[in-house]
Amino acid sequence: MPELPEVETTRRGVAPLVSGLQVQRVIVHESRLRLPVPTTLPAILTGQRLEDVQRRAKYLLFRFEAGTLIVHLGMSGSLRVVDAAQPRLPHDYVEIDFGPRRVLRLRDPRRFGLMIWTTGDPAGHELLATLGPEPFDAGFSAAYLHERAAGRRGAVKNFIMDAHVVVGVGNIYAAESLFRARIHPVRASGRVSQARYAALVTHIRAVLTEAIEAGGTTLRDFLRNDGEPGYFRHNLAVYGRAGLPCVQCGQALRVQVIGQRSSFFCARCQR
C-alpha cells in the first residue's frame, strides 16, 4: 500500500486528530514486525503529550517531548484513529489510546512495518541517517541525479527507487514518472543525460504532488483515517496496464520484471 503519497495522506489525516493529546494507554497485541515493537512502549508513552507528526521519507515521526515514535507502514500497513468502541480489525497490532474517541491503531497484515522508539534527533537514527533527499528538496536536482548516476550501469528505475539516492519513489511512481519523462526503465542510469534527468525530476514531483492532492493512490487495503474504505484509483498511465494501449501512441504497454519488481512501460515512447 503505502508509497509516499499514502504516507503523507496518513500524516495529514492522523496529525490533527491526535496532536496535542496525552497518551492514556498503549496496548501491543503483536510485537513481531520488521523490527520488534518494544515491550516497554506502554511505559514509555503513557502520560506523554504528542507534539506533532512529521514525515521523513516513508517514515512517520510521532514527536513527544521525551523522544520520537518512528513508524513505517511497510507494504501493507495503515493507521487509523477510531472510537474505542470500534472492534479491532484483524492485524490491528498496536493501539495508542489518546482518549475514548481517539484510539490510534496500527494495522499491518504482512508485518513489514515497524514502530520503534528513539530519543534524541530522529534524523540521526540509523534508519534515517543515510537516506537521500526528499523529492521536493532543492538538493534533488538534475545535476544531483546526473552526478550520482555517473558510471552506474544498473537500470534507471532501480536507481530512482533507491532510498539512498532519493526517498519516496516507489514502484508505482517510478513507473509513472519514467513514462512521463519518456525514459526506458531499463536504461542504464549512467547513460541518462542531465537534460533528461531534469525532466524526470519535474515529473517525479508532479506525479507525487498529484497523488498527494488526490489523497493517495490506493490499490488494495489502504483505509482512510476515519475508518472508511479509501479506495481511490489515481489516473495511472502505465502502472498495472500491461497489454492496454499507451495513452500517447496506442501501442500495447509492456510489463517486465526489473529488480524483482513488475515494471510497466511503453516500449515505443520510452527510450
Partner DNA sequence: CAAAGGTCCTGCTCGC
Partner DNA sequence: TGCGAGCAGGACCTTT
Cell triple for 181: 519523462
16 is catalytic: no
The reply on whether position 5 binds DNA by CB under 7 A is no
Please provide the size of the chain in residues: 271
Using the contact rule CB under 7 A, the part of the chain among 10-18, 42-50, 73-81, 203-211 near DNA is 73-81
Q: Which of 26, 45, 109, 203 binds DNA (CB under 7 A)?
A: 109
Catalytic residue selected from 102, 187, 261, 268: 261
Q: How many residues bind DNA (CB under 7 A)?
A: 44
Of 73, 68, 28, 71, residue with least CA distance to 52? 68
Contact criterion met (CB below 8 Å) for 173 and 180 = no
88 burial via Cβ count (<10 Å: 0-12, 13-18, 19+): middle
What amino acid is encoded at 130 in this protein?
T
Using the contact rule CB under 7 A, the part of the chain among 14-22, 42-50, 116-124, 155-163 near DNA is 155-163
Task: Name the 3-class secondary structure at 255.
Answer: strand
Contact criterion met (CB below 8 Å) for 24 and 97 = yes
Using the contact rule CB under 7 A, the part of the chain among 12-20, 42-50, 158-166, 246-254 near DNA is 158-166
Contact criterion met (CB below 8 Å) for 103 and 83 = yes
Q: Which of 39, 124, 138, 153 binds DNA (CB under 7 A)?
A: 153
What amino acid is encoded at 176 in this protein?
E
Which of the residues 186 through 245 are near DNA (CB under 7 A)? 188-190, 217-222
The reply on whether position 91 binds DNA by CB under 7 A is yes
The minimum distance between CB 55 and DNA, in angstroms, equals 11
The reply on whether position 151 binds DNA by CB under 7 A is yes
| Binding flags for DNA, 29-68, as an x/- string (CB under 7 A) | ---x-x----------------------xx----------
Contact criterion met (CB below 8 Å) for 29 and 95 = yes
Cell triple for 220: 488494495
Using the contact rule CB under 7 A, the part of the chain among 9-17, 97-105, 138-146, 165-173 near DNA is 165-173
Of 216, 214, 268, residue with least CA distance to 238? 268
Catalytic residue selected from 3, 6, 8, 176: 3
2 is catalytic: yes
Contact criterion met (CB below 8 Å) for 31 and 39 = yes
Cα–Cα distance between 147 and 189 in angstroms, integer?
10
Task: Just list the catalytic residues.
Answer: 2-3, 58, 261
Q: Residues interacting with DNA, by CB under 7 A?
A: 1-3, 6, 32, 34, 57-58, 72, 74-76, 90-91, 109-112, 127, 151-155, 158-159, 161, 163, 170-172, 188-190, 217-222, 259-262
